[in-house]
Amino acid sequence: MTRPAASKQQRRTQEQRSSEMRTRLLDATIDCLVEYGYGGTTTPRVAERAGVTRGAQVHHFGSKTDLVVAAISHLAQLRAETAMREMPKVQAGADPVGVALEFLWELHQGPLFIATVELWVAGRTDPVLASAMEKVEPFVNNAVLMAVARFVPDEMRRKETRDFIYTAMDALRGILVSNFIDPDTARAHRRWRRASAHLRQVATAALAAQSLVDRTSVE
């Protein structure tokens, strides 16, 4: 009776080890994307960064494409988790639109966004990567919307508000991508604040118009 239980325990341990190995390789892939770019991310480099043998890497991911496609899903999960984890750290106040815009800025800082951009650009000429990214982006965007909903809960049910968040992210990502050429975080943040001022004008006008519609419908 003890042998089956011991065997079952051993299988679980092997599964855990396999899962941990895959995670190490995927984390190393993201690190390499940030440090070397997509073109410089090679399977030998990933194996070295993960501290595993090439044989172990090939056992889990037979090619660079297999590895990067898996890393896309792993990266999406990390991005979504970051959005939900960072949300409680931000205090909502009397200026929910401003808080939401600054939250988007903080959310797009760091290596996860850099790795994401590398994959977006690589997907332009690689249909396999493009397809993988297309599948996970809605999942990440939904996590961002859920996080922002904490600041403007009553408005997030409106399509106009969701569109506003998407427009804000488009503007922010453009600023950050252009900043890669001559990195200057302070300058990029100033450009984002300038863009935010215009976005706030749009949001204020839209909220006022919606308020008028709501009052009219009640009357």
* Dihedral angle sign, alpha carbons of residues 170, 173, 175, 180: negative
Average pLDDT (97-103) is: 87
Instruction: Say if pTM beats, i.e. exceeds, 0.85.
Output: no
Which residue type, as a one-letter code, is found at position 53? Answer: T
Q: What whole-number distance in Å separates Cα of residue 153 and Cα of residue 84?
A: 15
Q: If you ran DSSP here, which 8-state letter would residue 89 be given?
A: G
Please, which contacts does 119-127 make with residues 24 or more away whose CB atoms are closer than 8 Å?
A: 119/33, 119/38, 119/68, 119/72, 119/75, 121/38, 122/38, 122/68
Average pLDDT (174-181) is: 95
Give the pLDDT of residue 97. Answer: 83
pLDDT for 218 beyond 50: no
Identify the residue whose tokens are 């984890």: 85
**What does the pLDDT look like over 115-157, one tens digit per residue?**
999 999 999 999 999 999 999 999 999 999 888 887 776 666 6
pLDDT for 83 beyond 80: yes
Average pLDDT (93-122) is: 90
Percent helix, strand, coil in the chain (nearest 5)? Answer: 85, 0, 15
Q: If you ran DSSP here, which 8-state letter would residue 151 be given?
A: T
